[in-house]
Structure 1
Amino acid sequence: MGGILEGKRILVAGVTMDNSLGFAAAKVAQEQGATVLITNFGRALNITKRIAKRLPVEPPVLELDVTNEEHLAGLESAVREHVDGLDGVVHSIAFAPQDALGGNFLNTQWPDVATAVHVSAYSLKGLSMAAMPLLKEGASIVGLTFDASVAWPSYDWMGVAKAGLESCARYLARDLGPKGIRVNLVSAGYTKTLAAGAIPGADVMGTIWGERAPLGWDVEDREATGLAVVALLSDFFPKTTGEIVHVDGGYHAMGA
């Protein structure tokens, strides 16, 4: 018996290390029957090509910088070298310069803010539009966020960018819904990843998460997030769009 993504073609954009949430989503997607393609760019591309071998099936690795218009314009042809279309896209992309993180909120200059917003929020729209010629009715776009409804220690302008990402997903859901395409986000709890390690002092959140999450929380567990992403990519949520699904042990619902 096949999995819930049997026969589906999924692009996971933004996989670097095997401890990333994007890697977890790609792994679960393959385990559930999908044909998966992954992306990265620049110096990280070679790392991704090595990491790809750790997936159950080694996937094609495409070069894609979501801030590069030429890369976005060439995405369709790059994907079609491997599959004839896409049933789903995962946006696992975020970046902010160091000056935009770590308690420097009041002093961060616009160029660094602009980078954070472009890579971490606007890119969801750019990636979605680049993938549009490949997506059929019923396709699903899923992004990864970190709860932007509150201010977090050290997260600073990345938190602002994630708020933009969450708003962007709602507007995309509005405009792509008539085309039969769903757009949702998964809000993961604090997880030890390469991205999290780049945020000064963010590890304090890992200490308190397990104490306050009613279901408990393991900062090393990425599979729970991968499972939620795959569920949203599947046909099990045909009328769900513009939603944020929390995978955080229930932390977001607790007042204290």
Structure 2
Amino acid sequence: MSGLLEGKRVLVTGVLMESSIAFHTARLAQEQGAEVLLTGYGRLSLVERIARRLPQPAPVIELDVQNQQHLDSLADRVREHLGPDSTLDGIVHSIAFAPQDALGGGFLDTGWGSVATAVEVSAYSLKALAVACLPLVDEKRGAAIVGLDFDAQLAWPAYDWMGVAKAALESTSRYLARDLGGRNIRCNLVAAGPVRTTAAKSIPGFDLFREVWTTRAPIGWDLGDPEPSARGVVALLSDWFPKTTGEIVHVDGGVHAVGA
């Protein structure tokens, strides 16, 4: 029996540690038959070391989403690994960052510079990545873009301007779904519950999320298990959602659906 992503080529951004949702997305994608490429930013040697822990070692391409040269050359650099006539079937956006003064409870005191960085890296980059990958998409085959989200319907403790950036990410995804649908490209998000990753540890007050999910998730939630969220991403990359776009799939144990 063939896998969900048999014969597909998928670009996964944001792999930093083995605990990340992006890493487990890449692993599951390979197990489901995909050829995977990774992007990394900053500590490339670390990303390359983590990439060797996948079932099949994956090449790593440097990508700083604030660097226009990196974006403009991305398609050519992908083809260096896949071949001159290669295409992508899936693109995973797992990129987010906010300066420390944009998190932790100082919402009213955060300056525009920090807010602008959070929005550019965490939301605008979805559009930037999509545009950079357009030359790699075969419109007959189609493609799926899937981004990782954290539910932005509510104001969360300590999340502050990252919460605003996630709301911008959700809106950006809907507009991409509108504008890319004619090219046979779907764009969806997975709103994941909190996972104890390197990125999560940088959020002041992260333990507050643990308390919320421990008490409110109807079917339970394990902060140490990134696989449920990764499975959601892989499912949306597959052909099992051929007419789903502009959607936010919650993989959070059901917390988004219940009150206190």
Structure 2: tracts of 5 or more residues without a match: none
Secondary structure of 2:191 counterpart: strand
Post-superposition offset of 1:54:
1.0
Deviations 1:107-129 (A, max 9, x none): 00111000000000000000000
**Superposed CA RMSD:** 0.7
The separation in 1 between residues aligned to 2:175 and 2:187, in whole angstroms, is 9
Provide the residue aligned with 2:52 in structure 1. Answer: 53
The residue number in structure 2 matching 1:205 is 209
AA of the residue aligned to 2:11: L
1:107 paired to 2:106:
no
Quote the Cα distance in structure 2 between the aligned partners of 1:207 and 1:55.
Answer: 32
1:46 is displaced (CA, Å) by 1.3
- Residue 73 of structure 1 aligns with an amino acid whose one-letter code is D
Shift in Å, 1:104: 1.1
Aligned positions of 1:26-105 closer than 5 A: 26-42=26-42, 44-83=43-82, 84-105=86-107
SS at match of 1:23: helix
In structure 2, what is the Cα distance between the partners aligned to 1:5 and 1:107? 46
SS at match of 1:82: helix
Runs of 4+ in 1 over 3 A off after TM superposition: none
Matched, 1:179 2:178: no
> 1:2-41, aligned counterparts within 5 Å?
2-41=2-41
Aligned mate of 1:252, from 253, 256, 260: 256
In 2, are the aligned partners of 1:79 and 1:85 still within 8 Å (CA)? no
What does residue 116 of structure 1 align with?
A: 118
The amino acid of 2:127's aligned partner reads K
Letter in 2 for 1:107: D
Aligned: 1:243 with 2:247: yes
Normalised by the size of structure 2, how large is the TM-score?
0.97
Partner of 1:50: helix, strand, or coil?
A: helix
**SS of corresponding position for 1:192:** coil
Alpha-carbon shift at residue 144 of structure 1 (Å): 0.3
Segments of structure 1 that go 5 or more residues without pairing to the other structure are none
Question: C-alpha displacement at 1:208, in angstroms?
Answer: 2.5
Q: Which region of structure 1 is more displaced relative to structure 2, 90-99 or 198-207? A: 198-207
Q: Does 1:223 align with 2:227?
A: yes
Residue identity opposite 1:32 in structure 2: Q
Q: Equivalents in 2 of 1:82, 1:4: separation in Å? A: 23
Task: Give aligned-pair identity as a percent.
Answer: 64
CA contact (8 A) 1:140 1:233 kept: yes
Per the alignment, residue 233 of structure 1 pairs with: 237
Report how far residue 255 of structure 1 moved.
1.1
Q: TM (normalized to structure 1)?
A: 0.98
